[in-house]
Amino acid sequence: MVSPKFWQTAGWLALALLPISWLWRLVTCIRKAITKPYRSSLPLICVGNAIVGGAGKTPTVLAIASKLIAHGKRVGLLSRGYGGRHAGPIHVDLAVHTFADVGDESILLTARAPTVVARCLPDGARLLEDSGCDVIIMDDGLQNPSVIPTISLLVVDGVIGIGNGQVIPSGPLREPWKDSLQKSHAVLLIGEDRREIKSLIGDKRLVLLGMLEPSLAALSLRNCRVLAFAGIGRPYKFHETLIKIGAKVIGFRSFADHHPYRLSELNKLVEEAVFEDAILVTTAKDATRLPVEIRASVTVVEVSLVWGDPTALSIFLDRILSF
């Protein structure tokens, strides 16, 4: 979805929608009260965020998985498979499943570690428990009361922050900020802290730092003419990445998050790129939704999470490895 502008400011529209926000919070409280949560027999790390839209959860899951695998852990990844048709629980198989089956994020996760998709997260956790894993990382789920995480990491985009600080639909928050912070054992701040998130956290939680950095292959686009398209939570972040690389962006097309691309749409983009003598580029997440016949015509710009503050990261990993 495209975030409305008033989510970043305090205005009359945000105030007018407050009664619906209160109703949202009431429904959330009722859901929590009637749900009996499941506690996994394995350490379960929840990587979540406070707002609607992209904050960098999936790159964070991949980065934590890599760290744990390097420590000899058998990591299993858990996702609800947003946008996919399978309710699960089901092991994602790249030879069989597409984004239409299990969601685009699950396709990305499976390339790093065994991944289970389950609308019912407790069922997914049980399947991973029976699959030889010794730690589970859950992509999203901070606001889901059906499982009890061993450790929760709250991911915050330093550029977006928490917007106007209101709960949807008055603002971008899924729940009050204090509730998200209280649930979390640590906070990962990605990018420059333009919204002074550190001051909102104070000394209440361990703060980790990180940056989403383009791959070495992506750096080859420097000074190249590119026509870009993206259907992610915040498409402009992809545009900023291309500018940071030094690419010459001659055009940019935004689509809704998880947009299932039609061949006709993509053919038009390919024709435009040829006409403009430009390279057609997109994100790794978007690439999972491209038809096979078009993939050779599109260059994928990959980014990964680069950790800052080694001391804080070591403390966080030690907490995980202690279980």
Q: Which residue numbers belong to the known binding site for ATP?
A: 51-58
**The amino acid at 4:** P
SS3 category, 320: helix
| CA-based nearest residue to 167, from 143, 183, 148, 193 | 143
Spatial CA neighbour of 77 closest among 286, 27, 69, 85:
69
Binding residues: 51-58
Residue-wise burial string across 203-217, b where 16 or more C-beta atoms lie within 10 A, e elsewhere: eeebbbbbbbbbeee
Number of neighbouring beta carbons within 10 Å of residue 26: 10
Other Cβ atoms closer than 10 A to 49: 28
Angle at 110 between CA 300 and CA 172, to 5 degrees: 75
Round to whole Å and give the CA distance between 108 and 131. Answer: 20
